[in-house]
Amino acid sequence: MRIDSYETAEHQKYVRTFLDGRFENSAFCLLAPNGQDWLTKAGRGPEMVLGHRSSVIQMKTVAAKYPDKKSGAQAIVQDFHSVRQALNVASADQRVLVIVSGSKEQTDGLRTSLQSVANEERIVGKFHFDFDETSDWYKQIKGLKAGPSIVVVRPGEFGMDGAVMKQLPLAADSSEIIKTLLVANSEFAKTTKKKVYSSHVAKGTKLGIYFDSVVPYGEDRDGDGKIDHRGGPPRGGSRGGPPSR
């Protein structure tokens, strides 16, 4: 699970629980299905916790101890804090974004009915999904027809805007939505050049692109509770067990 940590202080606080009070831009730990009990030590990434060569083997071994009790098709559908954040993450991950737009009453049922869509084997992991009740983001999306709908969006290069690839009514059936998403993903893959981090950042800097985050950017690598703006101690390896309760 990845937490989009720069959007809330609550999520940054959660990341700190895995890094001895530090905040860095990634953390890794295997948790039990209850989401609480630690099954491994924690660190910045899988290789720090499980080792470079045995990560997949160890994860399969742990997973085998917790057989599925429900179908993966019942997994909840992703939802961001805002379309603004969803666009930014979708652009960074180079995925098509699906926005379910409408009032709570109009879209609540879709949180359940879309589970079979979002978790379909040809769909899962290839898109980002977001539910939004506001109209604050309308101007960010080119070609959008205002009103309740399922909007399939090509995120802009820097995640500041997007363009409609397809717009469906909320009442569209699952088979139609899946077909639409598969076509959109194929088109997106064919017409989108893979980003190279260094040149992408350089271009964004040159153009003056800046994503104004809700919480301060940066890491707190010394664990003093404040974001470091210079230096910081070396990144450590894996940590011990979870904090005492």
C-alpha distances (whole Å) from 127 to each of 25, 81, 144 are 22, 16, 19
Q: Write out the two tokens for 208.
A: 């003056």
Q: Answer with the residue of higher pLDDT: 110 or 52.
A: 110
How large is the average pLDDT for residues 22-30? 90
What is the predicted pLDDT for the residue at 72? 81
How large is the average pLDDT for residues 173-187? 98
Question: The dihedral of CA 57, 21, 23, 17: what is its sign?
Answer: positive
Q: Write out the two tokens for 5.
A: 């940590």
Identify the helix (H) or strand (E) that includes residue 177: helix 174-191
What is the predicted pLDDT for the residue at 2? 67
One-letter amino acid identity for 16? R
Q: What's the whole-number average pLDDT of the chain? A: 89
Rounded CA separation 186/25 (Å)? 31
What is the predicted pLDDT for the residue at 213? 83
One-letter amino acid identity for 71? S
Q: From 3.40.50.300, 3.40.50.11260, 3.40.30.10, 3.30.930.10, which CATH number describes the 72-191 domain?
A: 3.40.30.10
Residue-wise pLDDT tens digits, 95-129: 999 999 999 999 999 999 999 999 999 999 999 99
Q: Write out the two tokens for 72.
A: 């993966």
- In contact, 221 and 233? CB cutoff 8 Å: yes
Residues with Cβ within 8 Å of residue 166, at least 6 apart in sequence: 151, 152, 180, 183, 184
What is the predicted pLDDT for the residue at 1? 62
- Burial tier of 209 (Cβ tally within 10 Å: 0-12, 13-18, 19+): middle
Rounded CA separation 134/104 (Å)? 10
What is the predicted pLDDT for the residue at 99? 98
Residue 56's pLDDT band (cuts 50, 70, 90): confident
What is the predicted pLDDT for the residue at 5? 65
What is the predicted pLDDT for the residue at 120? 95
Residue-wise pLDDT tens digits, 135-173: 999 999 999 999 999 999 999 999 999 999 999 999 999
Rounded CA separation 54/47 (Å)? 9
Is residue 4's pLDDT more than 70? Answer: no
What is the predicted pLDDT for the residue at 230? 60
- In contact, 169 and 149? CB cutoff 8 Å: yes
CA atoms within 13 A on the CB side of 231: 2
Percent of the chain scoring above 90 in pLDDT: 68
Residues with Cβ within 8 Å of residue 228, at least 6 apart in sequence: 218, 219, 220, 221, 222
Residue-wise pLDDT tens digits, 196-222: 999 999 999 999 999 888 888 889 999
Residue with tokens 């990434």: 45
Q: Write out the two tokens for 199.
A: 């040149």
Neighbouring-strand partners of residue 168:
150
CA 80 from centroid of its chain's CA atoms: 8
Dmax over Cα atoms in the chain, in whole Å? Answer: 54
Supply the pTM of this predicted model. Answer: 0.85
Rounded CA separation 24/234 (Å)? 12
Most confident option among 34-43, 178-187, 234-243: 178-187
> Where along the chain do its domains lie?
5-64, 72-191
